[in-house]
Amino acid sequence: MKERQVDIVIIGSGSAGLNAMAQAREAGRSFVLINGGAPGTTCARIGCMPSKVMIHIAEQYYRRTHFGQFGIDGHEGLSLDASEAMKHVQELRDGFVQGVVSRSTAKLPDDVFIQEHARLLEPTLVEAAGQRFRAKAVVIATGSTPILPMPWRQFGKRVITTDEVFELEELPASMAIVGMGTIGLELGQSLSRMGVAISGFDQIERIAGITDPEVNRCAIELMRQEFPIHLGATATLAEADGKLRVRAGEHEVLVDKVLSSIGRVPMVEGLGLEVLDLPLNARGVPPFDSHTMQVGDLPVFLAGDVTGERQVLHEATDEGKIAGYNAAHVGEAPQRFHRKTAFYVNFCDPNIVAVGDRFDQIDPERGAVAEVRFSTVGRARAMGEAHGVLRLYAERASGRVLGSEMIAPRGEHLGHLLAWAIEQRMTVGDMLRMPFYHPVIEAALKAALSQLHAKVDVRNPGPITEIALAAS
């Protein structure tokens, strides 16, 4: 078979692959973009965007349960048309996907964008659609796929994955969600608020990936107020008179459907990574440098969810740029790029957020921890959302803010403030010098910073107002 020469082969047209393509274009390199799955990014099709539409619908409907305390009458008569709600989710989802496709791949020639599965024959020789491409560099950005245990597949469409949940036209009366990570928790709360009898299961004693024991305890308590969550035992499935019996330890429930939300694995099956002649980890991924995205010393680069590490859109975007840049400059020493502060948001209500160093990364001898409950925050009380806890971590000697975990109303915004501050290596004192309005949710952050200021060694000499007056 004749080999077609090209500078870069990019496998996968999700967020990472599209950003790698942008780097190839900017550098003036020839490329082919090969995509074996559905067009559009994971975020637009099955991830961030449709889930946020569902979450918003559920939150708006759930607000009726608070109207009584505000003196708003008539809320008892409100109802939800679940089929119309899902139709709205799907229509917006399709719009998001179409927007991505129209901006990225729709205008690419057929010999540049190839809709077919790819396979490596050599590190820089790729086969797809009956063609072979000899490249100077290869970027692998094939994404991830949900885990569905083989024994569960016998139950057919009664067991679905997170890739399929947004295709539902009618919601079941009851559903078990196995896996209380970010996706399982978000969908569990939303579906429960939309009228589905939800039962949650996870074999570990933590939810949403939380490592801070106080945040975890608070999150479990709050989520269990909305639907039962059973932790610490492995779930098994069995047929039961047309329903599915889900059993974990002493807990058992009969449901119409089960949602498998036990994680996602890199989509590498059939890709031929064994030709790289490098050891593959348990998920089938070769070793790579997260600052260059290079695989070993080869002209091969990974980007996005396929790495199995930071599986969120903004990280996939950055990794695509890094991989694309270095692939476009093969022959030069690969550039090592700074990776941004780690930042994760679970959009359940209240938000669960982790930013910077996690609790299990903080040295208890060198670190300081502050804690603020939102029951004491005036704005949260005024909104009727005075639930949750913020835990903030700093380095005792330098006073530098290290990270935070929280379950908090409007936590996505607190997380951004902290991510920016940590990225700028700000100290507790630096942050306290920033303006804080009143009354706002950010009052919780100010209170936590004030606690930490008394625990760290590096402090401001006095309130900023006193310094300004003395200087004048």
375 closest CA partner among 386, 364, 391: 386
Radius of gyration of the CA atoms of the chain, in A:
25
- Alpha helices per DSSP H over 278-404: 313-328, 378-382
DSSP β-bridge partners for residue 10: 33, 139
- Alpha helices per DSSP H over 358-461: 378-382, 411-423, 428-432, 443-453
**CATH no. for 343-467:** 3.30.390.30
The whole-number pLDDT of residue 271 equals 97
Element holding 351 (H helix, E strand)? strand 351-356
Separation between Cα atoms, residue 456 and residue 436, nearest integer Å? 21
Separation between Cα atoms, residue 151 and residue 220, nearest integer Å? 29
145: Cα separation from own chain's centroid:
14
* pTM greater than 0.85: yes
Contact between residue 220 and residue 207 where contact means Cβ atoms under 8 Å apart? yes
The whole-number pLDDT of residue 462 equals 55
Burial string for 315-350 (b: 16+ CB within 10 Å, else e) reads bbbbbbbbbbbbbbebeeebeebeeebbbbbbbbbb
The whole-number pLDDT of residue 438 equals 95
The whole-number pLDDT of residue 468 equals 47
Contact between residue 197 and residue 175 where contact means Cβ atoms under 8 Å apart? yes
**CATH no. for 150-262:** 3.50.50.60
Concatenate the DSSP letters of all residues of 167-191 into one string: G-SS--SEEEEE--SHHHHHHHHHH
Q: Which residues contact 246 (CB under 8 A, 6 or more apart)?
A: 176, 178, 199, 201, 235, 236, 237, 252, 253, 254, 255, 258
1 closest CA partner among 192, 151, 190, 132: 132
**CATH no. for 3-145+265-328:** 3.50.50.60
Concatenate the DSSP letters of all residues of 219-235 into one string: HHHHHHTTS-EEESS--
Q: Which residues contact 31 (CB under 8 A, 6 or more apart)?
A: 6, 7, 8, 9, 10, 21, 24, 25, 112
Same fold, 3-145+265-328 and 150-262: yes
Q: Can you give the pLDDT of all 472 residues of the chain as single tens digits? A: 789 999 999 999 999 999 999 999 999 999 999 999 877 778 877 788 999 999 999 999 999 998 988 899 988 889 999 999 999 999 999 898 888 888 888 889 999 999 999 999 999 999 999 999 999 999 999 999 999 999 999 999 999 998 899 999 999 999 999 999 999 999 999 999 999 999 999 999 999 999 999 999 999 999 999 999 999 999 999 999 899 999 999 999 999 999 999 999 999 999 999 999 999 999 999 999 999 999 999 999 999 999 999 888 899 999 999 999 999 999 999 999 999 999 999 999 999 999 999 999 999 999 999 999 999 999 999 999 999 999 999 999 999 999 999 999 999 999 999 999 999 999 999 999 999 999 999 999 999 999 999 999 988 765 555 444 455 4
Whose tokens are 């997380």? That residue is 415
Q: Where in the chain are the domains? A: 3-145+265-328, 150-262, 343-467
